[in-house]
Amino acid sequence: MDESLNLGRIIDRHADRDAIALVGLDLDGHATEHSFGEIDTRADALARGLLARGLVPGERVALLGVNSVAYVVSLLGIVRAGLVAVPVNFKLPPAIVEYILGDSGARLVLCDDARAAQVPAALPHILFGSPEFAALPQPGPFEAFEPDARDLALILYTSGSTGRPKGVLLSHASHRWVVRTRQAATPLADERVLIAAPLYHMNALALILLTLASHAPAVLLPQFQAAAYIRAIARYRCTWLTAVPPMIAMMLRERELLAQTDLGSVRVVRMGSAPVSPSLLEQIHKLLPNARVINAFGTTEGGPVVFGPHPEGLPTPTQAVGAAHPAVQMRLIDERGQPADEGVLELKSPGLMLGYHQRPELSPLTSDGFYVTGDVFRRDAQGFYTFVGRRDDMFVSGGENLYPGEIEKALERHPAVQQASVVPVPDDIKGTKPVAFVVPRPGHVVPSEEDLKAFSLTQLAAYEHPRRIWFVDALPLAATQKIDRRALTEDALQRLAGAHH
């Protein structure tokens, strides 16, 4: 096989070029089908066209838009040309989008109509679906740029909880390793994958590259919308989903639609960004009776290949993310800087980033080359790892370290709790104390605040239990689709201030 080292050339040219690679759906259910041959040919033509515009390898081209087939083709074409793709999170505030476009040094933006207004006037942009976009590709054979070990394919910006987003530099080599390693572990050839998570995130981006490399069909939604997602599963008999807990919660609200829809085709749900609580697991099994749930973990900086099945074939405990992947070195470091069975995960693998763009002062790598994730894990006697919480989310209350994730898990063990989020608020005596926001589970009697507090004391140390619990319809999501803890903290402070007047 004439394998190129270019990340954009992962479609196997010897496999069936007429097989369907992508079904592009809009939220109303209009579909277009695209073969592997068509995607491959279009990506080559786009690569030629970008270079014909005078762009030179190493220069950046930004992508700004919802998921679409044009977005995927553009991503492959940019990377094949030796240019660097910068997928931008369009949900960020306009000033931050402008900062990312400027910081990355983007020379051109490919965007959809709804996002065009976010592009600064001085920066050239081309709209997907416009006559200019149709005229951009130059058909004909194309030899992909052959990268060296450190040549960049992608810059992904991580919206840190504080400060400006950081551009994560990802090489062709690191990401091809990710794709090939996952391909070996996850045979997708017989699966139909549904993608609704945004392609500007590592989760969906790594998945679309994996499906293309695996010659597996993917169904692509512009963004997650519960009813459209449920209909897409049924219509295309999708077998493989990737989800975050809020998506499942939103699907469960579509009761009428679920009652008349068969979701029995789903065999795998890969859950990212937060571990699955026992109550959520029970609901996933009700929703998707034939699916097994995999708790996934990955970071933009360290890639999605971190954990895997146990080397001796032991079953992974429900809450665990797996055992150490054989190709990844890892260690847990406690607060004293010592190796321990509970601590911050540090890892080293061929999937690591090269560093942060123009931020030499930020060194997330240790002197011996391990990436410090900032995520706290616990390792059991069998070698299984369980996520405890973000070191950044940890707060100290009366001298005790509290991890919101541990308290949330305990609250979610209550049958009437769908989802919980815990944040710290100031306390005169303890410095800070935990309070909780809880989304009640449909069809259950909502417990009183006192009852739920009493329940939490049966599950937690006394110092961990939430001092106030408020019931809400939904938890606010940040642009990353994770729970917006800052918004919850502000909400908590307002409620507490209101209570004092």
Domain spans in the chain, listed from the N-terminal domain onward: 7-223, 328-390, 394-500
Closest CA to 154 of 80, 47, 54, 91: 80
Q: What is the value of pTM for the model shown? A: 0.88
- Please say if the pLDDT value at position 274 is more than 90: no
The token duo for 325 is 């992947």
- CATH T-level assignment (fold) for domain 394-500: GMP Synthetase; Chain A, domain 3 (3.30.300)
Give the model's pLDDT for residue 463. Answer: 87
Q: How far apart are CA 205 and CA 287, in angstroms?
A: 26
Q: How far apart are CA 406 and CA 419, in angstroms?
A: 13
Distance of CA 24 to the CA centre of its chain: 20
The β-bridge relationship of strands 193-195 and 125-127 is unpaired
The β-bridge relationship of strands 371-379 and 355-356 is unpaired
Q: Is 30 helix (H, G, I), strand (E, B) or coil?
A: coil
pLDDT tens digit string along 413-460?
999 999 999 999 998 888 899 999 999 998 899 999 999 999 999 988
Give the model's pLDDT for residue 2. Answer: 57
Task: Point out which residues pair with 194 in neighbouring strands.
Answer: 219, 241
Q: Which CATH architecture has domain 328-390?
A: Roll (2.30)
The β-bridge relationship of strands 322-324 and 307-308 is antiparallel
- Please say if the pLDDT value at position 112 is more than 80: yes
501 pLDDT tier (thresholds 50, 70, 90): low
Q: What is the mean pLDDT of the chain?
A: 93
Asked if domains 7-223 and 328-390 share a fold, the reply is: no
Q: Which CATH architecture has domain 7-223?
A: 3-Layer(aba) Sandwich (3.40)
The token duo for 411 is 């609250």
- Please say if the pLDDT value at position 412 is more than 60: yes
**Helices 226-236 and 245-252: angle between axes, nearest 10 degrees:** 90
The token duo for 227 is 């009813």
Q: The dihedral of CA 381, 386, 391, 396: what is its sign?
A: negative
**Which segment of 37-51, 263-277, 374-388 scores lowest on mean pLDDT?**
263-277
Q: How far apart are CA 327 and CA 350, in angstroms?
A: 8
Q: Which residue has the higher pLDDT, 230 or 281?
A: 230
Q: What is the CA radius of gyration of the chain?
A: 23
Give the model's pLDDT for residue 38. Answer: 98
